[in-house]
Structure 1
Amino acid sequence: MNAPFDDATAALQALLDREAIRDCLYRYCRGIDRCDEAALRSAYWPDATDCHGAWKGSATGFIDQALARLRQGGRRVHQISNILIELAGDTAAVESSFLALQSTAAQPGRETFLCGRYVDRFERRQGEWRVADRTVVYDWIEERMRPELAQDDAQLFGVRQPTAAMAPADPVYALLAALHEPARR
C-alpha cells in the first residue's frame, strides 16, 4: 500500500544524493582554482586516497603539496561536465569529465591544457558525501608558450575587471560574506 510513497521517497533521496555529490565536485574545483584550502579539504574524507598524475597517496598529502605549489602564483580554471553517478547505498561510483587550463608563476607564459576524468569512489558518512578515493585519468594534454600571459593583470586584462584571485581576495568570497551577513535594518 505504501509502495508509491516509498518509491517517491527513494527517488527524492537519490536526487538529493546526486546533487550533494555534484556540489562536492564543484567545491573541489573552487578549492583548487582559488587555493581555497577549506573548500578543497571539504571535498575529501580525511582518510581519502588520490592518484593524481605524479602524486599517488593520501588526499591530505595531495592537497598539501598542491597548495604549496599553487600559492606561488599562476592561474587555473577547472570545468566539470558529463557527471555520471551510480549510487549503491552509502557508496557511489562517479565519473566526471574535466577541462583544466593552468599556468604557473614559475614558468611565465607557459600554459597547460588538460582534459580527463575524475574516477571517484564517494562515500556518505553521517549524511555527507565526499571523495573517499580518486583516480585522475588523463585523456589529453597540450602545453604551449603564450608570451602575452607573462604580462601583469592590468596589461593582460585591460578594462576586463575584476580578475580572478586566490581566496579570500576573489570576488566570490565578498558575495558569500554578504550573503551570510545578518539582515540590516
Structure 2
Amino acid sequence: MTSTSADQSLHALADRIAIEEVLARYCRGIDRCDADELARVFTDDAEIDYGDGPKPVDATIDGLMAGLGAMRLTQHNIGNVLCDVDGDAARAETYCVALHILPGTDGEPDVELVVGGRYLDRLVKSDGRWRIANRIYIMDWNRQQASTMQHRGGLFDTLNRHGARAPGDPSYDWWASES
C-alpha cells in the first residue's frame, strides 16, 4: 500500500467514524430532549421527513421536543450503518430500534411503544464537520403494549441513578466535569 492510498484509507475511516458520531449525537439529542444537541447534527437548511412529508429542521426539532417531551422516556439505539463517502458528501442508511414510554390515561398503565426503522441520510462536511442535510425515515415495524418498566423494586431497587431529560441527566454533569 502506498503512502497516498494509506492516507486516503485513514481519511475515509476518520470520515466514517465522524458520521457515526453524528448519528449517535442525534440519538442523544432525541432521548435527552436537547434541542441544541439536535440542532448541531443538522445543517441549518436541512429537510427531514419522518413519513409525513419533508419539513425544515427548525419545525422538525420543535415538533420532536413537544412530542417526545410529553413521553416519560425514549431510548433510540442505532445498529447497522451502511455509509458511502464521496469527498465532502455522504449517504448513510442506519438501522434504529427505539423505545418510547407514553403516560397512561384515565388510570390505565403507561404504554410501551417499540419501533424499528431506518434513517436514510444525506450528509455534508463543512468546516471539517459532518452534518445531516437531508433525512428520510422508514418505519419497518412497531409494537405497542402496556409498559412493565419500573425504576424501583426487584433486582435494581438499590440503583439510585436514572436517566432524565436535559439537563437533569447525569451525563451532562459527567461530560462537564474535568477528567
Task: Determine if the TM-score, normalized by the shorter chain, exceeds 0.5.
Answer: yes
Offset at residue 8 of structure 1 (A)? 1.3
1:3-32 CA-partner distances (Å, limit 9, x unpaired)? 812111111111111111000000000000
TM-score using structure 1 length: 0.86
SS at match of 2:137: strand
Deviations 1:123-162 (A, max 9, x none): 111211010000001111111123x45x7x4469632321
User: Contact 1:55 / 1:62 at 8 angstroms: preserved in 2?
Assistant: no
Aligned partners of 2:128, 2:61: CA distance in 1, in Å? 24
After TM superposition, the runs of 4+ consecutive aligned structure 1 residues lying more than 4 A away are 153-157
| CA distance, structure 2, for counterparts of residue 4 and residue 120 of structure 1 | 32
State how 1:1-185 maps to structure 2 within 5 Å: 4-54=2-52, 56-105=54-103, 107=105, 109-146=110-147, 148-149=148-149, 153-154=151-152, 158-179=157-178
Q: Which residue of 2 aligns with 1:183?
A: none
User: What is the CA distance between 1:58 and its match in structure 2?
Assistant: 1.1
CA distance in 1, matches of 2:103, 2:158: 22
Structure 1: runs of 5+ lacking an equivalent: 181-185
Deviation of 1:100 (Å): 0.2
Could you tell me whether the CA contact under 8 Å between 2:104 and 2:111 is conserved in 1?
no
The Cα offsets for residues 76-124 of structure 1, whole Å up to 9 and x where unpaired, read as 0111011111011111110110000001236551111000110100111
Mind listing any 5+ residue stretches in structure 2 that lack a counterpart? Answer: none
Following superposition, the deviation at residue 55 of structure 1 comes to 5.5
Distance 2:97 2:178 in 1: 29
Query: How many residues get paired?
Result: 175
Amino acid paired to 2:19:
I
3-state DSSP class of the match of 2:2? Answer: helix
The one-letter amino acid of 1:161's match is N
- The answer (yes or no) to whether the contact 1:73–1:104 under 8 Å persists in 2 is yes
Query: Identity of counterpart residues, as a percentage?
Result: 34
> What is the SS of the residue equivalent to 2:142?
strand
What is the TM-score with the length of structure 2 in the denominator? 0.89
CA contact (8 A) 1:70 1:104 kept: no
Q: Distance in 2 between matches of 1:139 and 1:16?
A: 30
Kept after mapping to 1: 8 A contact 2:102/2:113: no
Distance (Å, rounded) in 1 between the aligned partners of 2:26 and 2:88: 20
How far apart are the structure 2 equivalents of 1:106 and 1:179? Answer: 40
Give me the whole-angstrom Cα distance separating, in 2, the residues matched to 1:13 and 1:158. 47
Q: Distance in 2 between matches of 1:105 and 1:37?
A: 22
